[in-house]
Amino acid sequence: MNPLEGKVAIVTGAGQGIGREIALLLAGEGSKIVVADINYKIAENTAKEIESRGVEAAPYELDVSSGEKVKEMVDKILDKFKRIDILINNAGITRDNLILRLKDEQWDDVLRVNLKGAFNCIKMVSKVMLKARSGRIVNISSIIGLIGNAGQANYAASKAGLIGLTKSAARELGSRGINVNAVAPGYILTAMTEKLPEEVKKKMLEQIPLGKFGDPREVARAVLFLVSEASDYITGQVISVDGGMAM
Ligand code: NAP
């Protein structure tokens, strides 16, 4: 039997990039997957890929920053699958600018999606997990939340906030069998990082002890560890997957 057979996992922002790889890897271990993304077309794509591998998947168009929409989705999932075992808060955006030029809108958008989005999902899904007295939650933070970055004050604040949220949720939910952890990826090759200027990429490479950028699958493997039995006694932790960039 596959280790995650019979489980149901929600992965937000799973239409592409890291979220898609997480969804595919968890599905490969037998978990049914709810593919939630603000962009329905790519969510449907990921879900189709999972189904072609013989695992049940359901695509949802979801803006994580709307508590109401998250609730609607959770209700639909319960109707369809009757349970939720795993929540991966992966949806995230960047709106980069130096602080002096950072617009209120850029600040608000990033905090609303990256931090409030995770709060909305934890709030709704933990209700279900509390009843079941079991669950795994993994928040995708970032190395930038640990070390900061010029031009990304909003993103860094949201990702550092996610770590505080992770630890608080771990303390609140631990006694009911729910583990909450975070993964802090470094520089991973996806659409989000593709748009960075070559000069910035070159500078970043110089700061990575392993001497290469990461692959979304490498982040997905850390997430798989955190939702598997192998991490039963681990909660409130942040695992960096960054080639040694932040140590
Ligand atoms: P990505 O390729 O941009 O994928 C993120 C997905 O989330 C996109 O499909 C995006 O849709 C979707 N999304 C955006 N806003 C949403 C919302 N409000 N509700 C639901 N879905 C939404 O990003 P990625 O590189 O895979 O990153 C995934 C996560 O890892 C993010 O939280 C990111 O901050 C974190 N991370 C990434 C790196 C890296 O190097 N790539 C490093 C550290 C941390 P749109 O494309 O339409 O916006």
State which of 10, 12, 18 you would mutate to test the pocket of ligand 1, scoring each by most atoms of that ligand within 8 A of its C-beta.
18
- What residue type is 192 in one-letter code? M
User: Cα of 1 to ligand 1 centre, how many Å?
Assistant: 32
- Whose alpha carbon is nearest atom 2 of ligand 1? 17
Angstrom distance (rounded) from CA 9 to CA 218: 19
Angstrom distance (rounded) from CA 158 to CA 46: 26
Count of residues making up the chain: 247
Under CATH, domain 8-188+215-241 is a member of which superfamily?
Answer: NAD(P)-binding Rossmann-like Domain (3.40.50.720)
Q: What is the pLDDT of residue 217?
A: 98
Is residue 238 in contact with ligand 1, taking CB distance under 6 Å?
Answer: no
Q: What is the pLDDT along the chain (247 residues), one digit of tens a residue?
A: 899 999 999 999 999 999 999 999 999 999 999 999 999 999 999 999 999 999 999 999 999 999 999 999 999 999 999 999 999 999 999 999 999 999 999 999 999 999 999 999 999 999 999 999 999 999 999 999 999 999 999 999 999 999 999 999 999 999 999 999 999 999 999 988 888 889 988 988 999 999 999 999 999 999 999 999 999 999 999 999 999 999 9
- Whose alpha carbon is nearest atom 39 of ligand 1? 188
Q: Cα-Cα-Cα-Cα dihedral of 150, 151, 153, 155, to 10°?
A: -120
Is residue 241 in contact with ligand 1, taking CB distance under 6 Å?
Answer: no
Enter the tokens of residue 201. Answer: 């990429």
Instruction: Map the chain to HEC letters.
Output: CCCCCCCEEEEECCCCHHHHHHHHHHHHCCCEEEEEECCHHHHHHHHHHHHHCCCCEEEEECCCCCHHHHHHHHHHHHHHHCCCCEEEECCCCCCCECHHHCCHHHHHHHHHHHHHHHHHHHHHHHHHHHHHCCEEEEEECCHHHHHCCCCEHHHHHHHHHHHHHHHHHHHHHHHHCEEEEEEEECCECCHHHHCCCHHHHHHHHHCCCCCCCECHHHHHHHHHHHHCHHHCCCCCCEEEECCCCCC
Q: What is the pLDDT of residue 1?
A: 83
Is residue 113 in contact with ligand 1, taking CB distance under 6 Å?
Answer: yes
Q: Cα-Cα-Cα-Cα dihedral of 13, 127, 146, 217, to 10°?
A: -40
State which of 16, 89, 201 you would mutate to test the pocket of ligand 1, scoring each by most atoms of that ligand within 8 A of its C-beta.
16
User: Cα of 35 to ligand 1 centre, how many Å?
Assistant: 13
Q: What is the pLDDT of residue 187?
A: 95
**Domain ranges (residues) in the chain:** 8-188+215-241
Is residue 187 in contact with ligand 1, taking CB distance under 6 Å?
Answer: yes
Residue among 40, 60, 155, 233 flagged as catalytic: 155
* CB neighbour list of residue 79: distance below 8 Å, 6 or more residues apart: none
Is residue 193 in contact with ligand 1, taking CB distance under 6 Å?
Answer: yes
